[in-house]
Amino acid sequence: MKLRTTFFCMLLGSSALFAQKSIEQSGIKITTAPLHCDVPSEGYQADLIALTITNTTNEVKTVSYSFELYYDENCATCGHEEYLYTQTLQPLQTLKGVCLDRNNFGLTIFDHMPEHLTKTKLTDFNILHVTVQ
């Protein structure tokens, strides 16, 4: 019983257990999932939240959205318009956040790095102001 309780407490403390977000609007579906990045050649190790954005229509769609990111319970992005992103998707196209993507900004959210590098952790996030054209 003690082992199960310890394991359960470890799971509760894991930031990878955020409730997955899912938004569907005007033929665009946005979902989130945890993403662990370990890229030794770049000296990069971090946990992220990856967005998957899918155009479920036969039309070109442009989606705009922003993030509200809470690190250690404090909103780090509230009132900052630089966290507004726009993606254009071809019919039936899917964009997915990946580690170290330097071309498609706004498809990942930084969660945390290994604890020996920083103790700052994402404690909550929201995807806001979603518009589809």
54 part of a folded domain: yes
29 part of a folded domain: yes
- Contact of 68 with 128, CB cutoff 8 Å: yes
116 part of a folded domain: yes
Per-residue pLDDT of the chain (133 residues; tens, 9 = 90+): 443 433 333 333 444 445 678 999 999 999 999 999 988 887 788 899 999 999 999 999 999 999 999 999 999 998 877 778 999 999 999 999 999 888 889 999 989 877 667 778 999 999 999 999 9
* CA 132 to chain centroid: 19
How many angstroms separate the CA atoms of 44 and 47, rounded? 10
Would you mind telling me the total number of residues written for the chain in this entry? 133
* CATH number, residue 29: 2.60.40
How many angstroms separate the CA atoms of 29 and 63, rounded? 10
- The per-residue pLDDT for range 21-55, each reduced to its tens digit, is 899 999 999 999 999 998 888 778 889 999 999 99
Give me the phi and psi of 59, to 5 degrees please: -125, 155
52 part of a folded domain: yes
Query: At 79, is the secondary structure helix, strand, or coil?
Result: coil
Residue 96's Cβ-count burial label (10 Å; 0-12, 13-18, 19+) is: middle
110 part of a folded domain: yes
Give me the phi and psi of 124, to 5 degrees please: -170, 160
pLDDT confidence of residue 115: 67
11 part of a folded domain: no
**What is the domain range of residue 97?**
18-132
